[in-house]
Amino acid sequence: MRNHAKFEPPSSEITPEQRYLDRRAFIAVAGAIGAGAVTGLGFPGIAGAQQEPQAVGKPYGLQPDDKPTPWEDVTTYNNFYEFGTGKGDPVGAAKDFKTKPWTVRVDGLVNKPADYQLEDFLKPSAVEDRIYRHRCVEGWSMVIPWRGIPLADVIKRADPTAKAKFVEFTTLMDPRQMPGERTGVLPWPYTEGLRLDEAQHPLALLAVGVYGRVLPNQNGAPLRLVVPWKYGFKSIKSIVRIKFTDSQPKTAWNQAAANEYGFYSNVNPTVDHPRWSQATERRIGEFFKRKTLMFNGYADQVGSMYAGMDLRKNY
């Protein structure tokens, strides 16, 4: 186990976050935050005219007062440690990140392993627009309109063997482009994992776009995982490998601090982070806190996968 203190984000990272949240909340109350206008990013328009962003897509698991978080916040307030530990670091540090060409390796316990170029990995008919709630382990949340393909489609194409029980994801390792990977803040490359049944759930999405536009570099371009019932760090970015295994994968944050970041990391208001409560959350752009919902509001859809499990032990 690695020394926890080595991987703990600096306290200077937390204080600016609160100031940012309060600032955005007051601006929202003043009516200065506008919603996106129209857009026309089509597929395979993974390259296309950059028009005004629009929150397009079918809403999944949203509450009546859930409104899409403004484009400005979605694309400038990011956790992407490969480009820095500050929330505002990725938008600048990832500006020149090269995402073409991009290869995704699908291997492990599958009958059809393959190396895909991104354009071959995607099928136009499978691309969907979906609006999801998101909850960060640090206590803030957003509502984000994604564009992507169901992870289950990729799994079906790979044809896992009977021995496959888990899916492991790996981010690109390129310290020349990703300055954060030159530091020891996390064990690199960033890895994450899901049980196979979780990965096959209809809500699990591989995103290639956000707000009707191509996925920006700071949001995990060109391909990222979206698992809306889990804390945000499970939704790994800039994926280059999807591997099927028979054992639980080692994941970046769990290796860094296992007592704080469990493998499952399901949103659970009754299980606190060792350093703060998870009972409430602050939506970016709002002043008052909200109650955190079990499985981030997706309990009806995903709760059966964890029936009989001790969710305090399997946090």
Q: What is the pLDDT of residues 249-285, one digit of tens each?
A: 999 999 999 999 999 999 999 999 999 999 999 999 9
Domain holding 212, by residue range, is 12-40+48-306
In a domain, 197, yes or no: yes
In a domain, 272, yes or no: yes
CATH of the domain at 164: 3.90.420.10
Residues 6 or more apart in contact with residue 218 via CB below 8 angstroms: 75, 76, 78, 80, 83, 90, 91, 94
In a domain, 7, yes or no: no
Phi-psi region at 285: left, alpha or beta (left = phi > 0; alpha = psi -120 to 50):
left
pTM (2 d.p.):
0.85
Q: Which residue type does 163 have?
A: K
In a domain, 228, yes or no: yes
The pLDDT of residue 51: 59
In a domain, 311, yes or no: no
Per DSSP, the three-state class of 199 is helix
DSSP state of 164: -
Determine contact, residues 150/128, Cβ cutoff 8 Å. Answer: yes
| Total number of domains in the chain | 1
pLDDT beneath 70: ranges in the chain = 1-52
In a domain, 315, yes or no: no
The pLDDT of residue 104: 97
In this structure, the dihedral spanned by the alpha carbons of residues 89, 95, 96 and 102, taken in order and rounded to 10 degrees, is 100
Pairwise CA distance, residues 136 & 119, whole Å:
30
Write the burial class of residue 275 (CB in 10 Å: 0-12 exposed, 13-18 middle, 19+ buried): exposed
The pLDDT of residue 224: 98
In a domain, 6, yes or no: no
In a domain, 252, yes or no: yes
Strands (E), 109-175: 114-117, 128-135, 140-150, 166-171
In this structure, the dihedral spanned by the alpha carbons of residues 196, 197, 200 and 203, taken in order and rounded to 10 degrees, is -130
Pairwise CA distance, residues 297 & 134, whole Å:
10
